[in-house]
Every structure is written in structure tokens, then in C-alpha cells.
Chain A
Amino acid sequence: MRKIWDLIGGVHPPENKHQSVQQSIGTLPLPEKLVIPLNQHIGAPPKVLVNEGDYVLKGQALAEPNGMVSVGVHAPTSGTITGISDYPIPHPSGMSARCITLIPDRLDQWIDHSGVADYLSYSPAKLLEMIREAGIAGLGGAGFPSAVKLSARKPISTLIINGTECEPYITADDMLMREHPAEIVEGIKILAYLLGNPEEILIGIEDNKPEAYEALQPLLAGSNIELVEFPTRYPSGGEKQLIQILTGKEVPSGGLPADIGIVCQNVGTTHAIQRAICHGEPLISRVTTVTGRACTINRNYQILIGTPISHLLKHNGYDHNHCARLIMGGPMMGFTLTDTDIPVIKTTNCILAPSTEELPAPPPAQPCIRCGLCAEACPASLLPQQLFWYAQSQNYERLEAHNLFDCIECGACSYVCPSSIPLVQYYRAAKGDIRRQNQEKIKSDRARARFEFQQARKEKEEAEKVAKREARKLAAEKARALAAEQPGSAPGPDDIVKAAMARAAQQKASPEEQRARLERGVARAESHLQTVEHRLQTAQQEDSEQHLEQAKAAVEDARLRLEDARRKLAELGTVQDSAASNVMARIQASPGEAQEKKIASLKERIALTQQKIAEADDEGLKTALQSGLDKQLAKLQEAEQQLTETPAAAESPAPAATVDAAAAAIARAQARAASMSNMSEEDKLRESIISLEGRIEKAKAKLDEAKASESEHVDALQTGLDRLQQKLLSEREKCTAFAGQAQAPCAPQQPSTAESAVEPQPQDAASAAIARAQARASELANMSEQDKLQETVSSLQSRLKKARVKLRDAEAEGSEHVDVLRTAAEKLQTKLAAAEQQLAEYQS
């Protein structure tokens, strides 16, 4: 005989089991509908596999496990899915959860299923998968997924089958053991195989079930399964308590039985596992006790999961007038139902409908006198009276110190309490509060971390801003200090050189790209032209006045753009074509020759333009070409002038080679740098005048165009032009005023002392440009006032020439701006005279 340990505490409530064991396990007719809650277990709800309106067969999976700790549900019979919606489920809260509603077709047609003839030939993993797919969760009450419980990671030395059923009234396991002992024993053998054949296999059974004992005992002969009977006392059927009674070991607080090498399974679960493995049947029904004096029939039934409780009660003579509470589970740990339509689920072992006399309403609670009867009854050796005390005062710290979370909520303390205090409710509420508080603590910790992170980030951003501001301030101060040290050379010559170098390099680097870009531009312009021409045609067909106008303008515009693009491409072509020969030429060519070449090319282009003008029939195009021609002419003149100056310049060690595009860029840079370094207010004005002139010219062209096409924008353009001219006039006035005031700088004469160190490197355009820029920079640095004056004079001369050309043109056209232009030319002449005079003064 095996040693049996004592259960600590415990109570002896009236058993009331005899009522429901008089008849064998029965069956009930199919209900009108079945409501199958998705979540009938501990863990994640399963994933629904069916849709509303689907026809399903008995045993077909309705939902599959979603995650590790999850089990699916199966159709308890064949029929149609009529809804997947929220429905009241068996839960102490009486709340609703997602359920699948099934209307049976009463054919009860099974889906194809088959069991395993010899489970030993399958791997435990495969069998576990079958158990998982059969949707088996613990049938004892908690509903923990069986496959998870059986796949213990620790070695298992003891398998305990729980046939205790210590709660009063419930006889479902008792009847199952009486009627299906062979299947249970086979199920135990499967479990043993799954767990790697533990050394000990025990069936725990209370001594109030002699019939079940007798039924099982003969089947165990020759096996290593031991049937252990022990005295009846509530709550010996609790997993932890049963382990203590049978082995003397205690499951560590917060741990699992597997931690001490024990796995505990309910007989009902064992039976379900046997059905799943040997017959391939998923868990779609279970044995449930229907009892209580409010029912005339007290009996156990094999009930389909999802059967509404009202259906059970109807067939058992339920008298609702004598029943104040309907309990799912037993009288010690069951929970009350407030709705009879709630379905039976996998963990429903009993429906208890007691009469009001049988289980009267609890009397009002009296004060706790700390009599200690609860502590005597507690199977976990807690001090329920202290827990109650602290739960009332919400002293959660003390509650945890008194091991509240080791309470199994068996209800023994409330059962014996002479003051009828609902102790268990206090503990449940306190546990809920503590859990909630812990969650809030976690949340508030995270909120704090996020808040602090945000603060830190903002501080960092602020600090960076401050640092930047400081750096800028420092740099500005430094620059000021530098400027103060080197007066008169605001942008250092080095800077100019560098800028020029960069620009030269850029230009040098991409002639091919440039070409490609221009070609693309031409193509684009062509296609655009085609489009607008097409539009013009359409407009003509449609005979729409306004559209026609617009289309024409657009076509004109497009054509101009195309011209422009082509011209640019041609220019680039000229530049590039000439580049190679230029390079060769430049090696020996004197600057004079280069200039001559340039002049020749310009002349060529002028001729081309003139020819174009002659060809052009359109007024707008003509104007545009004319302006282009003007520019070319100006350039030609400049080039010629330069040519005349070249002999002098050629003697200087840094000869000019202006043909190259890069060199041109450098020249521009030089000019700008020079003008920038010396730019007086007057020069600035001049600059702005020049730009204004350009703008006026453009505006004029536009205006003419508009006039030609009789556009509605004529007036607006005219106004714009007038304004520009006005501005130009005022600028010019300012300029002349300045010129009058201009004083001759009194710096000592410093002849140009160009350095001979820099040799020209004409092979490379870029390096040539660099060399030139450097030379020019050094020149600039040493440039005397006289030189500057000379420059001014020459620039004025060229401008005067330009102005005269313009004036001539204007006179030819009979333009209204003749007067203005004439004034400007006169002013320029005056200025030139003044400058020449200054220069003369200097030289003298």
C-alpha cells in the first residue's frame, strides 16, 4: 500500500453526489442551434476558418489554433454556420465574446476521420500535433491546452491522473470512469508514451467512488499504473493538493508541476485524448452533470459542445421558480450564470440548479472576529483572515507578503467562515486590482521612459542649436577680424582663384554631358513644337477664335524655344569642334592669333544670323534674331578691341587664350572678382543699369511680339516696359551723379609687375585656366589705381560703342526710345571723357 500524505486544511461539505449517479450517461436530442465560443481555453483565441453560410460536417475544424498556447474548435454536428458574432459565454462576468452559431441539419454527418491503430509507431511530436488539432483543452476546469501541458521540456517522473472530483454534486468524471474505464486506461498509456514513460503512473481517486475504483482496478493488472484511493476531503482534487496527497511534494510557488517532474491530467481529458488518437475524433462533446433540486432529473449526459444550457434544463424538468442561481461547475468553485442561453463549453463539468432551500442566499456578512477557522481550512496554509483584513484596506503590499497569489480560490475559507464573509470575492478582487496595478506600473514606467527620452531629445536639439549659433557668431567675428587685418581685399584673391578653378573644373568635366543635355533639350523642344502644332490644327478645325489665338502663340513660343535649343547646341558644337584644333593652335599660337580666330568665328556667326534674319518671315523671330545679332556684333567689337590690345598683353608672361570655354569662365570670374573687389557704389549702379537695359530689351521684344499677335497683354507689357525704363533712367541719373562725385584715388603709381613664374600650360584647358586665374589674381592684387582707371576707360569705351549701335538701330526703327538712348550715349561719353581725364591726370 502506497503512503498517502495528508491534505492540509480542507473541509467536508455535503457531497450530494448520489442524485446524479442513479442513471447511466445519457444523450439528449440535438438542440435547435449550437453556439460555439471561440475561446474555451486559457490562451489566445483561435483563428476562424469558416464563413457565415458555410455548410460544415461534424468534426470539421471551425477555427484553428492561433499561436502556441491556443486550441481550435470543431463543428459538433453537421449543419450551416449562421453567424460569427458576440454572444454571452460562460464566464463569471456574464459578458459576451465571439462565438460561431451553427444550425444543425440533423443528419449528423461526420467528416472523414480515422484514428491511429498503433500509436507507438508514431513519434510523440506527431501525436501531440494530433491532440492539438483535436482541440483538446483540460476538461477539469481550467481549460489549459493539453498539447502544451504534455510537451513538457523537463523530464517527467510521475504522471498523475486526476479522478478525484472533490467538488460536491459533480459526478461527470465518476460516471466516465465507471462506464469507459478501458478507454481511460488506454488514454493513460498514450499519455505515458508521450511523456517518455514516467516511472510512476498514479490514478488519484477519492474513497467516495468505490464503483469507479472497481471498474478501473481490474484493467490495471499487469501494468505499472497504480490506482490510489484516499479519504474524501475538499479540495483534494486541486492539482497542487492532489500532487501533495499522492507524492508529498509541493509545486513551487509560481511554478508548474512539471518543475518537480510531475504532469497531472484529468480523466476526462485522458478520455478525450484517447478518442482523438485512436478514433481521430476531435473534442466536440463531453460528459456533464445536470443536477440540483430545481431539476427533476439529475443525470450525466454526453453533451455536444455549444448546446445551450436552456436545452439541458428543458429536458431535465427545470423549475425556474425554485432556483435563485444557476451554477456552472460545483457549489465550491463554480460561477453563477445569469442567462440560460449560455452554451456548454469544453470545461463545463456540471450544471447545478439548486433550489433556494438547498443553497440559500448568503446571510449578510458579520464582522470578522479572526476566529481562525478559515486558516484551519486553508489548503495552502494561508491566513485568510489577515488576507481579508488587508484586502479590505487595499494594502496590496501586505497582501503579497501574505502570499495572496498562492490562494487557489477553493472557497474552503468562505465555507467555514462563521461571519459568512465572501472571502474569496475579496481575494479575487484584490488579485485583479494588484494585476491591474502592476500593469499600470509597467505602463507608467514606460511612459516615464518615453517622457524622459523626449526631454533628453529636446535638450539635445536645443543644445545643438545653441552650438550652431555660437559657431556662426565665432566665424563671423573671425571673418571680421581677418577683414580688418587685410583692408581692401575683402574676398581674398585665393578665394577667387579657387572659385574659378571649381567652375572651370565643372565646365571642363562635362562637355559630353552638356552636349547630351542640349540634344535632349532640342528633342524636347521639337516634340513640344509638334504637339502645339497639332493643337493648332485642331483649333483651326474647331474654328475656335480664342483657342486658335492661344495655339498660335504656343506654336510660336515652341518654335522659338526650339531655335534657341538648336542654337545652343550649335554653339556647343562649335566650341567643342574647335577645342582640339584650338588646343594645338594654342600651343604655339600667340594670343593675337587666337583673337583673330575668335573674331573670324564671330563674323561667321554674324553672317549666319543675318542670313537667318533675312530668311525669317515672322516679326517676333526677327526681333529675337536681331537682338542676338546685336550681341554678336558687340562681342565682335570687343574681340577686335582685344586684338588691338593683344600685342601689349602678349608681352606679359600670362598670355590670354580666351577661345577656350573654360578660359572664358575664368575670365568672367576674374571680371566679377575684379569688379567685386573694387566695386564702388557707382559700379554697382552701372551693373544694375546694364541689367536693366537687358531687361528692357527683352521686354521690348516681348511687347513687339504681343503687338504683332494683337495679344490682350499688350497693355500690361507696355506698363512693365515703361516702369523698367523709368527705373533705368533713375539709375542712370544716380550713376552720373556718382560719376561727378567720384574722386581720384590717391594711391601711388604702381606699374604692373606681372610675375614670370607662371608658365602657361595650354595642353590642359583647366590648368591653363588655373594658371590664368592665378596670374590674374596676382595681377589683381598688385593692380595699381592707374590700371584700374585704364580698365574703366576701356569698359566705358566699349559701352559707349554699344550704346551708339543701339542708338543707330533705334533711329533706324524710329523708336520712341531714341531720345533716351541718345541721352544715355551722351552721358557715357561724358563719363568716358571724365575717366580719360582722370587717367591722364594719373599718368602725369
Chain B
Amino acid sequence: MYELMIQHPLVAALVALVGLALVFGAVLGFAAIKFHVEGDPIVDQIDKLLPQTQCGQCGYPGCRPYAQAIANGDAINKCPPGGQPTINALAALLDVEAPTLDEEHGVESDVKKVAYIREDECIGCTKCIQACPVDAILGAAKQMHTVIVSECTGCDLCVEPCPVDCIDMVPVPQGIAEWKWDMPAPTAEQLKALRASDIIATDRGERAA
């Protein structure tokens, strides 16, 4: 055997390579099974970051389809309800540069809104009920409809189908319970304000300018 190896280096090399391949293959295969990570598929992770308004402003019929599209390489800046925070979160997740919101799909609104049906004008056509992606409108044919405010995502998909235009998007009232402190103004802005008021008297050059 040894002799054979010595005399035929090609055979020796082949044997060695096959042996190595077998050993490492076994190790890798074992590792793949043993240390298999049952991670969230990327679509789920993206879907978790989306605001779930199901508004379709991104051009997909709901958040999950858009998540799927992002996973397949679509742009991450098509979600106006989520706005920049969502884009930033998606960018962090996907490890890409965070773009600004694509204005084509709408603008980010600071104020959270919910749909409100002017109930005495409602004719009970159920069109809005069919349009609502989260079943947040209550009513029956020929009966007055109303919005379950706590379930409304403010997607405004119900506004357009209403034949009598009795649905408004009203801002969610911000009471004392919802109030919170704002972040302090950034230092630069604070300084600009100060400069305008000439508090830094020693800053002559700046004042002259």
C-alpha cells in the first residue's frame, strides 16, 4: 500500500483529497444540522417593521406583499405611513443606505388620522366596509355604518369608494395622556436662535455678518 502510494503520487493525491473531502463534508453536514438557526425569514422581519396600515400606497395590496417585494429587491422608501423611521429601520435591517421617502407614493403625515363617518349622511351602501383592509367598519346594507376607531389604521382606503363622500379623515385627538416631552432643539438651532438674539455678545464677527 505504502509502496503503491510512493510510486503513484497521483493516486496518493487523489486518495488524500477524497479523504479530506469526506471528512470536511461530514463535519459541515453535521454542523448544518446541529447549529441550524431557525431564524425569521426575511419577509417576516420586514413585515414586522412595516406599519400595517394596509393602505396600499406602496403599490402593493397590503404590507405583507410589499414586504415580499422588498425581500425581492424593491425600494424600501415607498411607505408614507411609516415614514422615515420605518425606512431607517428597514435600512438597518437590510444593511443598506437609508433613502428618503419616495414622494411618488405620498407624503409622510405628522398627524395620525382615523376615518370618521358622518353617520346621518351614510346611506348604508357597505362599499367602505368592503374597502377596509382591517374590518374596522361596522354596519350592514341599508344600515348606518361606523368606524371602530381603535382598529382604524388611517389608511383612507374607505374614503374614495364612498358614493356620498361622508367619510372624513380626522386627526386623532392628542390629550394630556398622550402628551410627551419633545426632544430638545438641536444645539446648532439653539445657537442660531441665540445668535439672532445677540446673547453671545463676544461673537463680534458673527454679529457683523
Q: Interface of A with B (CB < 8 Å)?
A: 89, 91-93, 95-97, 364-367, 391-392, 394, 421-422, 425-426, 428-433, 435-436, 440, 443-448, 450-455
How far is A429 from B180 in the complex, measured between Cα atoms in Å?
6
Query: Are A92 and B184 closer than 8 Å at their CB atoms?
Result: no
B123 to chain A, nearest CB (A): 23
B residues less than 8 Å from A97 (CB atoms): 176
| Interface of chain A: mostly helix, strand, loop or mixed | helix
- Across the two chains, which residue of chain A brings its CB closest to B176? A95
Q: What would 5 more interface pairs be, CB under 8 Å, given A451-B63, A451-B64, A451-B134? A: A92-B179, A97-B176, A364-B194, A443-B153, A454-B134
A residues less than 8 Å from B50 (CB atoms): 444
Query: Are A426 and B184 closer than 8 Å at their CB atoms?
Result: yes
- Across the two chains, which residue of chain B brings its CB closest to A453? B135
How far is A435 from B181 in the complex, measured between Cα atoms in Å?
12
Query: Are A445 and B180 closer than 8 Å at their CB atoms?
Result: no
A residues less than 8 Å from B62 (CB atoms): 451, 455
**Of A93, A366, A430, A444, the contact of B51 (CB 8 Å cutoff):** A444
A residues less than 8 Å from B151 (CB atoms): 446-447, 450
A498 to chain B, nearest CB (A): 38
Query: Are B53 and A426 closer than 8 Å at their CB atoms?
Result: no
B residues less than 8 Å from A89 (CB atoms): 176
B residues less than 8 Å from A425 (CB atoms): 181-184
How far is A391 from B135 in the complex, measured between Cα atoms in Å?
37
**Of A392, A421, A436, A450, the contact of B135 (CB 8 Å cutoff):** A450
User: Can you name 28 A-B pairs with beta carbons within 8 Å?
Assistant: A89-B176, A91-B176, A95-B176, A95-B179, A364-B187, A364-B190, A365-B187, A367-B187, A392-B183, A421-B184, A425-B183, A429-B180, A429-B181, A435-B180, A436-B178, A445-B52, A447-B53, A447-B54, A447-B151, A447-B153, A448-B64, A450-B135, A451-B52, A451-B62, A451-B63, A451-B134, A454-B133, A455-B62
- Across the two chains, which residue of chain B brings its CB closest to A391? B183
How far is A238 from B194 in the complex, measured between Cα atoms in Å?
36
- Across the two chains, which residue of chain A brings its CB closest to B54? A451
B residues less than 8 Å from A445 (CB atoms): 52
**Of A364, A365, A391, A447, the contact of B52 (CB 8 Å cutoff):** A447
**Of A364, A428, A450, A454, the contact of B191 (CB 8 Å cutoff):** A364
- Across the two chains, which residue of chain A brings its CB closest to B112? A440
A262 to chain B, nearest CB (A): 30
How far is A504 from B79 in the complex, measured between Cα atoms in Å?
69
A residues less than 8 Å from B183 (CB atoms): 391-392, 425-426, 429-430
A91-B176, A365-B190 known; A448-B63 Cβ under 8 A: yes
- Across the two chains, which residue of chain B brings its CB closest to A455? B62
- Closest 9 pairs (CB-CB, A-B): A432-B180, A444-B52, A428-B181, A447-B52, A450-B134, A93-B179, A429-B183, A448-B52, A429-B181
- A430, A432, A450, A453 pick with most chain B CB within 10 angstroms: A450
B136 part of interface (Cβ distance < 8 Å): yes
B47 part of interface (Cβ distance < 8 Å): yes
Interface string of B148-188 (1 = CB under 8 A from A): 00010100000000000000000000011011111110010
A451-B63, A451-B133 known; A436-B180 Cβ under 8 A: yes
How far is A426 from B135 in the complex, measured between Cα atoms in Å?
38
How far is A394 from B89 in the complex, measured between Cα atoms in Å?
11
How far is A44 from B89 in the complex, measured between Cα atoms in Å?
35
- A95, A432, A440, A447 pick with most chain B CB within 10 angstroms: A447
A residues less than 8 Å from B134 (CB atoms): 447, 450-451, 454
How far is A91 from B50 in the complex, measured between Cα atoms in Å?
34
- Across the two chains, which residue of chain A brings its CB closest to B61? A455
B residues less than 8 Å from A436 (CB atoms): 178, 180
How far is A432 from B179 in the complex, measured between Cα atoms in Å?
8
B residues less than 8 Å from A455 (CB atoms): 62
B residues less than 8 Å from A430 (CB atoms): 183
Interface string of B76-110 (1 = CB under 8 A from A): 00000000010000000000000000000000000
Query: Are B184 and A365 closer than 8 Å at their CB atoms?
Result: yes
How far is A429 from B186 in the complex, measured between Cα atoms in Å?
13
- Across the two chains, which residue of chain A brings its CB closest to B81? A444
B98 to chain A, nearest CB (A): 12
A793 to chain B, nearest CB (A): 57
How far is A364 from B188 in the complex, measured between Cα atoms in Å?
9
B202 to chain A, nearest CB (A): 13
How far is A584 from B178 in the complex, measured between Cα atoms in Å?
90
Query: Are A448 and B181 closer than 8 Å at their CB atoms?
Result: no
A390 to chain B, nearest CB (A): 12
A residues less than 8 Å from B191 (CB atoms): 364
B112 to chain A, nearest CB (A): 9
Query: Are B182 and A429 closer than 8 Å at their CB atoms?
Result: yes
B residues less than 8 Å from A431 (CB atoms): 180
A residues less than 8 Å from B136 (CB atoms): 450
A93 to chain B, nearest CB (A): 4
Query: Are B47 and A448 closer than 8 Å at their CB atoms?
Result: yes
B residues less than 8 Å from A428 (CB atoms): 180-181
Interface string of B126-143 (1 = CB under 8 A from A): 000000011110000000
Query: Are A93 and B176 closer than 8 Å at their CB atoms?
Result: yes
B204 to chain A, nearest CB (A): 18
Query: Are B184 and A422 closer than 8 Å at their CB atoms?
Result: yes
How far is A432 from B181 in the complex, measured between Cα atoms in Å?
7
B residues less than 8 Å from A367 (CB atoms): 187
B residues less than 8 Å from A451 (CB atoms): 52, 54, 62-64, 133-134
How far is A446 from B52 in the complex, measured between Cα atoms in Å?
9
How far is A431 from B181 in the complex, measured between Cα atoms in Å?
9
- Across the two chains, which residue of chain A brings its CB closest to B47? A448
How far is A752 from B136 in the complex, measured between Cα atoms in Å?
71
A198 to chain B, nearest CB (A): 35
B39 to chain A, nearest CB (A): 18
A residues less than 8 Å from B175 (CB atoms): 95
A361 to chain B, nearest CB (A): 10
How far is A430 from B191 in the complex, measured between Cα atoms in Å?
22
How far is A392 from B178 in the complex, measured between Cα atoms in Å?
21
Query: Are A433 and B180 closer than 8 Å at their CB atoms?
Result: yes
B89 to chain A, nearest CB (A): 10
B44 to chain A, nearest CB (A): 11
Interface string of B31-69 (1 = CB under 8 A from A): 000000000000000010011111000000011100000
A residues less than 8 Å from B54 (CB atoms): 447, 451
B residues less than 8 Å from A392 (CB atoms): 183
Query: Are A440 and B184 closer than 8 Å at their CB atoms?
Result: no
A461 to chain B, nearest CB (A): 12
B residues less than 8 Å from A91 (CB atoms): 176, 179
How far is A736 from B23 in the complex, measured between Cα atoms in Å?
99
B residues less than 8 Å from A444 (CB atoms): 50-53, 153
- Across the two chains, which residue of chain B brings its CB closest to A433? B180
A425-B183, A429-B180 known; A440-B190 Cβ under 8 A: no
How far is A433 from B85 in the complex, measured between Cα atoms in Å?
12
How far is A91 from B151 in the complex, measured between Cα atoms in Å?
30
A residues less than 8 Å from B187 (CB atoms): 364-367
How far is A462 from B183 in the complex, measured between Cα atoms in Å?
50
How far is A429 from B179 in the complex, measured between Cα atoms in Å?
10
Query: Are A454 and B135 closer than 8 Å at their CB atoms?
Result: yes
- B50, B62, B184 pick with most chain A CB within 10 angstroms: B184
- Across the two chains, which residue of chain B brings its CB closest to A447? B52
How far is A113 from B179 in the complex, measured between Cα atoms in Å?
39
A residues less than 8 Å from B52 (CB atoms): 443-445, 447-448, 451
B residues less than 8 Å from A450 (CB atoms): 134-136, 151
- Across the two chains, which residue of chain A brings its CB closest to B136? A450
How far is A454 from B133 in the complex, measured between Cα atoms in Å?
7
A residues less than 8 Å from B178 (CB atoms): 436
- Across the two chains, which residue of chain A brings its CB closest to B153? A447
How far is A435 from B178 in the complex, measured between Cα atoms in Å?
10
B97 to chain A, nearest CB (A): 16
- Across the two chains, which residue of chain B brings its CB closest to A431? B180
- Across the two chains, which residue of chain B brings its CB closest to A361? B199
How far is A430 from B180 in the complex, measured between Cα atoms in Å?
9
B135 to chain A, nearest CB (A): 5
How far is A515 from B136 in the complex, measured between Cα atoms in Å?
53
